[in-house]
């Protein structure tokens, strides 16, 4: 099947980014005004942010994490004696990954009546989900994407969403999951000589970075090819190094399940259209949030341009190797003739295929707040429409933050409390959230402000034993809220500081 996911057709490039690191390549000067419209696409000085390693978690926090894990087990046993009416409803996960294997590659025109409720019941409802408070701006007009989501990258709060769990073809935004899975496996200085078998199976019409059989590349080169040019050839070479495409796909599916991205089923590691390959705006946002915990991931997805090794030539018995420049295909990062770079953008990944249409996940910072946005398959055929709708949603998100009631949350990975940073992370990097988060844990600070005994609040009709159990369980939940808050803050983005001029 002919793919439209060439660098020209796929809609992304990079600069002016919420970067937590220095760029791989130096800036070549500012982009001139591209004639974009609105605050999200107007010309401004590109901004980047350097990474500040987070301080080690205080002993008290570590103890609370351990204590909260112990209390979870105790609370579970107490729940056996508690009245059923007290238990909160458990969100129903979406269909299992294996169930999607029989799904059609081309989605239907309308979303399912019921979707996964991972992250909140409202996220499983079709249509737009938003709850405006006083002074909150209305959502942008003329949004045509089949699915989109705007979320706070640090607290995980979903500010608004539209068909967030609709299972759709992801195109090359799936490469975020590929990178999050495989990046920790190889040091960037490792070299690999490409064989013809490494490039076998690259789909017809794929976007390519230009890898040549018989040439040697560093892992660093290959990841530049994946992120900047969305090179399917680079993905296949890295997959070959990782044990082959089937093994890599299996690992990607397992990692998606670990991240609780249950809408996702991987068939190809590069996002090339395949029957049964699906993801969702919600899952793609989880992939970006997880990947951004890795220093190398942040570096690659925010790099505007870099030199890539070319072919080796021999003249008069002397061999030399040329190089050529590659540029990121994220248009909010690099700009285009009809759209300027988005202020504070830092990636993450774009895609475009026949069945998926245009897809994009981006992360940006403004005023100390970090937002993630994912937009899938705008119906409006305008050039760069996926970026224009993404920029409009980011603008809205920055204006609406703190003025809307969240409609859901980005869940943390399974076993997130004990998860360790991936290779390439700075020590302690995942333990510090940036400014503007801290909205998750306040609910448990004063669970019973009236001072009334919790047991009395459960009613006098229950036996003394049940009432006591409920009182203890309620008290434990207060501590668990605090413990869960610290666990959740393990995964948000590290603290972001000043813009680099």
pLDDT at position 472, please? Answer: 52
Q: How far is CA 32 from CA 18, 370, 385, in A?
A: 19, 25, 20
SS (H, E, C) 65-95: HHHHHHHHHHHHHHHCCCCHHHCCCCCCCCC
pLDDT at position 263, please? Answer: 98
Cross-strand partners of 350: 360
pLDDT at position 468, please? Answer: 53
Joined together, the tokens standing for residue 164 give 């967030």
Quick one: which of 371, 397, 424 has its CA closest to 132?
A: 397
Q: How far is CA 400 from CA 40, 60, 99, 160, 393, in A?
A: 14, 34, 37, 10, 10
| DSSP symbols for 256-273 | HHHTT-TT-B-SSTT---
Cross-strand partners of 375: 148, 360
Which of the residues are catalytic? 172, 175, 230
Tens digit of each residue's pLDDT (9 = 90 or more) over 255-306:
999 999 999 999 999 999 999 999 999 999 999 999 999 999 999 999 999 9
Task: With H, G, I as helix, E, B as strand and everything else as coil, classify residue 237.
Answer: helix
pLDDT at position 147, please? Answer: 98
- On whether the pTM is more than 0.75, the answer is no
pLDDT at position 235, please? Answer: 98
pLDDT at position 368, please? Answer: 87
Instruction: Give me the residues of the chain with pLDDT under 50, please.
Output: 1-106, 417-464, 466, 477-501
Residue 245 half-sphere exposure, CB side, CA atoms within 13 Å? 20
pLDDT at position 497, please? Answer: 31
pLDDT at position 279, please? Answer: 98
Question: According to DSSP H, which parts of 302-346 are helical?
Answer: 331-334
Q: How far is CA 500 from CA 20, 33, 51, 154, 495, in A?
A: 11, 20, 11, 21, 15
Gyration radius (Cα) of the chain, Å: 23
- Element containing residue 179 per DSSP (H, E): helix 175-182
Task: Give the burial string for 266-286 (b: 16+ CB within 10 Å, else e).
Answer: bbbbbbbbbebbbbbbbbbbb
Q: Answer yes or no: are the C-beta atoms of 436 and 397 closer than 8 Å.
A: no
Backbone φ, ψ for residue 343 (5° rounding): -60, 125
pLDDT at position 76, please? Answer: 41
pLDDT at position 100, please? Answer: 34
The Cβ of residue 457 has, within 10 Å, a number of other Cβ atoms equal to 13
pLDDT at position 416, please? Answer: 59
């Amino acid at each position: 099947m002919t793919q439209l996911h060439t660098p020209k057709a796929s809609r992304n490039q990079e600069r002016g980014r919420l970067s937590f690191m220095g760029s791989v390549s130096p800036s070549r000067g500012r982009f001139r005004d591209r004639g974009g419209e609105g605050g999200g696409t107007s010309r401004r000085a590109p901004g980047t942010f350097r990474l500040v390693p987070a301080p080690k978690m205080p002993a008290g926090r570590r103890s609370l994490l351990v204590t909260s894990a112990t209390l979870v087990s105790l609370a579970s046993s107490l729940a056996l004696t508690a009245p059923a009416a007290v238990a909160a409803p458990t969100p129903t996960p979406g269909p299992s990954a294996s169930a999607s294997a029989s799904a059609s590659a081309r989605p239907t025109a309308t979303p399912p009546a019921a979707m996964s409720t991972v992250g909140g019941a409202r996220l499983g409802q079709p249509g737009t989900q938003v709850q405006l408070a006083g002074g909150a701006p209305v959502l942008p007009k003329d949004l045509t994407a089949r699915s989109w989501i705007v979320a706070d990258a640090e607290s995980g709060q979903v500010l608004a969403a539209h068909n967030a769990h609709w299972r759709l073809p992801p195109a090359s935004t799936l490469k975020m999951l590929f990178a999050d899975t495989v990046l920790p496996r190889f040091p960037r200085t490792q070299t690999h000589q490409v064989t013809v078998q490494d490039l076998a199976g690259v789909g017809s019409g794929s976007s390519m970075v230009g890898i040549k059989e018989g040439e040697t590349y560093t892992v660093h080169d290959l990841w530049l090819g994946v992120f900047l040019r969305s090179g399917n050839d680079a993905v296949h070479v890295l997959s070959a190094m990782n044990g082959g495409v089937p093994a890599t796909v299996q690992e990607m599916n397992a990692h998606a399940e670990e991240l609780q991205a249950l809408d996702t089923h991987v068939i190809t590691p590069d996002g090339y259209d395949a029957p049964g390959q699906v993801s969702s705006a919600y899952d793609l946002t989880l992939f970006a949030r997880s990947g951004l915990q890795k220093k190398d991931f942040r570096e690659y997805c925010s790099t505007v341009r870099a030199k890539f090794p070319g072919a080796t030539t021999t003249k008069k018995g002397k061999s030399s190797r040329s190089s050529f420049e590659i540029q990121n295909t994220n248009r909010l990062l690099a700009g285009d003739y009809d759209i300027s770079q988005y202020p504070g953008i830092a990636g993450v990944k774009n895609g475009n295929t026949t069945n998926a249409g245009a897809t994009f996940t981006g992360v940006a910072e403004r005023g100390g707040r970090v937002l993630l946005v994912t937009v899938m398959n705008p119906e409006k055929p305008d050039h760069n429409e996926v970026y224009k709708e993404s920029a409009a949603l980011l603008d809205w998100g920055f204006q609406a933050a703190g003025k809307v009631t969240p409609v859901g949350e980005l869940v943390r990975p399974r076993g997130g409390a004990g998860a360790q940073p991936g290779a390439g992370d700075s020590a302690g990097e995942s333990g510090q959230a940036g400014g503007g988060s801290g909205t998750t844990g306040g609910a448990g600070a004063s669970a019973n402000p009236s001072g009334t005994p919790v047991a009395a609040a459960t009613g006098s009709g229950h036996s003394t034993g049940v009432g006591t159990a409920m009182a203890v369980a309620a008290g434990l939940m207060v501590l668990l809220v605090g413990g869960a808050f610290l666990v959740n803050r393990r995964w948000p983005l590290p603290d972001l500081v000043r813009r680099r001029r």
